[in-house]
Structure 1
Amino acid sequence: MTRRELDAAGIREPRLRAAYTRCREVNARHGRTYFLATRLLSPAQRPAVHALYGFARTLDDLVDVPEAADTPESTDGRLSEVHTRLLVDLRAGTSDDPLLAALVDTATRYALPAAYFTAFVTSMRMDLTVTDYPTRAELDRYVHGSAEVIGLQMLPVLGTVVPREEAEPRAAALGTAFQLTNFLRDVAEDLGRGRVYLPADELAVHGVDRARLAWCAGRGLADNAVRAAIREQLAITRRIYREAAPGIAMLHPVSRPCVATAAELYGRILDRIEDAGCEVFAGRATVSRGLRLAVAGRTLSRALWARWRHDTITAPTVEV
């Protein structure tokens, strides 16, 4: 399958093929829902998605899963090195760095602005020093780099049937909705890393603060105040999904089943949290493999029909 995707995307050079293959392996290993949805795209589109995911996941792990000898200062230094190298390689249109080669090739093919990647690195660096977000506006600044720009990066790969700038707010909103879903699913895990990705002022309305979250985490059970706060956050996140939903029809028909599947599966995580009584400390809300396959299987016929009915999206080539 990897060879078919690379051939379809016109990626011939052995070094680049190896870099894209590595990114695909990262996506398959870590992005279960994301990888499954990616399989609904045409083969020519998939390598670019793998490259974008592979880069983002690698930098996210650099911050969240540091080596034993790492310090915030050393990690910040490594992020700065990657960022500097990336900017140089983006200007050159090529990279011999194993981490960056596929990303730079994708960014060059799809004319992705360097500012998208700078915003992402900025948010990753925030994770080294910022542990709380007093207001929604401050959280939004983090989410812009960590999630909105991911949606914007994906848009040229997915293609649109409207002017791209018309679809961009919807793509950014869907990236935000995915990120907020992760925050709600991972409240306990993030708290264990010393971070709270829920606006403090919105929690305070329900009498919840970091100390109360820590107390609930310690006993493995949310209290009524925390449950009420989580219920409000679920409602906010669902509203953002609704804002993003019209964007699916703005995509190229071949890409719609993929994005619709990802949106449905991420939305099901919110359902799982709600079904558990907004309990976020007794266990991590997940969507079962069976349900993931059932949802993907339901949209597979639409994906195949779209590929047959419409012109296939061809990956841009890079002038050598």
Structure 2
Amino acid sequence: MVTIAARSELVAHAADTIARGSKSFAVASRLFGRRERERVWLLYAWCRACDDLADAQDMGGALGDQSNPHERLATIRQRTALALQGVATGDASFDGFGVVARECGITAADADDVIAGFALDSEDWRPRTEADMMQYCYHVAGAVGVMMALVMGVPRSDEDTLDRACDLGLAFQLANIVRDLWEDDAAGRCYLPIEWLVEADIPPGQHMKPHYRAALVDLVAHACAIGRCHEASARVGAGRLPFRARWAILSATGIYGDIARMVESAGPNAWNARVHTGALSKAGWVARSVVAAMRPPPRDCGETARGRLWTRRQLAERARR
């Protein structure tokens, strides 16, 4: 009979998962207090397991056999449902999710918001408009940001802070999109809106061809500008967290924000090699963020950023249509 491992074993598994799956977030997660750190790891392990199942990969590595995507999606849904019911799944990442969900009030609806992003990929979906792109970002990262906020103790009634947490997820995913254009193209995917490509006279599916690089750089700059606006909003929400959580989130924001900044500054050479932040850069953000965490938080993200924000409410409503 399959049983759920002890919480300590599930946490150890999750710690190993984040160490292998995301060096950037692993560094920032060490800054949380023990309780929040363990919960963040448990949530991350579920996200990593879902992503790997959806793309038939290991720790975000090379994509595997992409046949039968609906079967993999069904597995994600089945294991998540069992975990939320407190039933052993035989997978420590899902069992750990069940533990953190019960501890923090994460619901099936919260999980479904994330799984909906994997469902889009299983349908070979492409964003036609900017709104479509942002809806995808909401599912695969914004909704995760909301769950992370719940894990850090933000009450579900604090809608504005949950909105800011969603904004951070949106910013992170936009950084992923611009960094991974080459890898996604190799897998037959593109998360830049078709309307953007058409307006730039780039035939869909041809955006990585060398003679379209100059036009592509302009589109990437546009995506990065949207990401910066959501990052600014997220910093407002981070200021409302307890000190150690604030320090961790500000560190992660800086580290991950550097990915988008490096892609944008590299121009047409951004995809010659995969962009990543080094250990020294990560340490620098940890040091700067402890100072920022001790200062009064910004009260507002600024008029310019507000005008570019896609709200959690907007994107959730689009998802329900």
Residues 259 and 277, structure 2, Cα contact 8 Å, conserved in 1:
yes
Residues 248 and 260, structure 1, Cα contact 8 Å, conserved in 2:
yes
Q: Distance in 2 between matches of 1:111 and 1:144?
A: 20
Q: Which residue of 2 aligns with 1:38?
A: 29
Letter in structure 1 aligned against 2:221: R
Residues 184 and 280, structure 1, Cα contact 8 Å, conserved in 2:
no
Measured against aligned partners, the alpha-carbon deviations of 1:103-123 in whole angstroms (never above 9, x if no partner) come to 100000001111111122221
| 1:247 and 2:240 matched | no
Q: Distance in 1 between matches of 2:121 and 2:239?
A: 34
1:152-301 aligned at under 5 Å gives the runs 152-160=146-154, 164-216=158-210, 223-299=213-289
Residues 222 and 280, structure 1, Cα contact 8 Å, conserved in 2:
no
TM-score by length of 2: 0.81
1:32-181 aligned at under 5 Å gives the runs 32-66=23-57, 70-73=65-68, 75-90=69-84, 92-95=85-88, 97=90, 98-160=92-154, 164-181=158-175
**Closer, same or farther in 2 for the Cα pair 1:153/1:228, shift >3 Å?**
same
Letter in structure 1 aligned against 2:216: V
Identity %: 24
Number of aligned positions between the proteins: 287
**Closer, same or farther in 2 for the Cα pair 1:187/1:84, shift >3 Å?**
same
Instruction: State the structure with bigger RCO (CA 8 A, min sep 6), 1 or 2.
Output: 1
Unpaired stretches in structure 1, ≥5 consecutive residues = 1-12, 305-320
**Closer, same or farther in 2 for the Cα pair 1:206/1:40, shift >3 Å?**
same
**Closer, same or farther in 2 for the Cα pair 1:293/1:269, shift >3 Å?**
same
Q: Distance in 1 between matches of 2:76 and 2:121?
A: 16
Residues 160 and 250, structure 1, Cα contact 8 Å, conserved in 2:
no
Report the alpha carbon displacement of residue 57 of structure 1 after superposing the two structures with TM. Answer: 0.9
Letter in structure 1 aligned against 2:224: L
Residues 145 and 166, structure 2, Cα contact 8 Å, conserved in 1:
yes
Q: Distance in 1 between matches of 2:15 and 2:197?
A: 38
**Closer, same or farther in 2 for the Cα pair 1:211/1:197, shift >3 Å?**
closer
Unpaired stretches in structure 2, ≥5 consecutive residues = 295-321
Q: Distance in 2 between matches of 1:227 and 1:233?
A: 10
**Closer, same or farther in 2 for the Cα pair 1:278/1:236, shift >3 Å?**
farther
Q: Distance in 2 between matches of 1:34 and 1:113?
A: 24
Q: Which residue of 2 aligns with 1:316?
A: none
Residues 161 and 251, structure 1, Cα contact 8 Å, conserved in 2:
no
Residues 203 and 209, structure 1, Cα contact 8 Å, conserved in 2:
yes
Letter in structure 1 aligned against 2:39: A
Letter in structure 2 aligned against 1:276: A
Measured against aligned partners, the alpha-carbon deviations of 1:33-61 in whole angstroms (never above 9, x if no partner) come to 11100001011211111111111111212
Measured against aligned partners, the alpha-carbon deviations of 1:150-179 in whole angstroms (never above 9, x if no partner) come to 111111222349952221111111101001
**Closer, same or farther in 2 for the Cα pair 1:267/1:79, shift >3 Å?**
same
Measured against aligned partners, the alpha-carbon deviations of 1:164-209 in whole angstroms (never above 9, x if no partner) come to 2221111111101001111011110111111101111123222223
What is the root-mean-square deviation of aligned Cα atoms in Å?
A: 2.7
Report the alpha carbon displacement of residue 69 of structure 1 after superposing the two structures with TM. Answer: 8.4
Q: Distance in 1 between matches of 2:107 and 2:165?
A: 16
Measured against aligned partners, the alpha-carbon deviations of 1:228-282 in whole angstroms (never above 9, x if no partner) come to 2222222122122123221111222331000000111111112212221253332
Residues 139 and 197, structure 1, Cα contact 8 Å, conserved in 2:
yes
Report the alpha carbon displacement of residue 132 of structure 1 after superposing the two structures with TM. Answer: 2.0
**Closer, same or farther in 2 for the Cα pair 1:165/1:211, shift >3 Å?**
closer
**269-278 or 172-181, larger mean C-alpha shift:** 269-278
Residues 217 and 264, structure 2, Cα contact 8 Å, conserved in 1:
no
**Closer, same or farther in 2 for the Cα pair 1:270/1:140, shift >3 Å?**
closer
TM-score by length of 1: 0.81
The alignment partner of 1:285 has SS state of coil
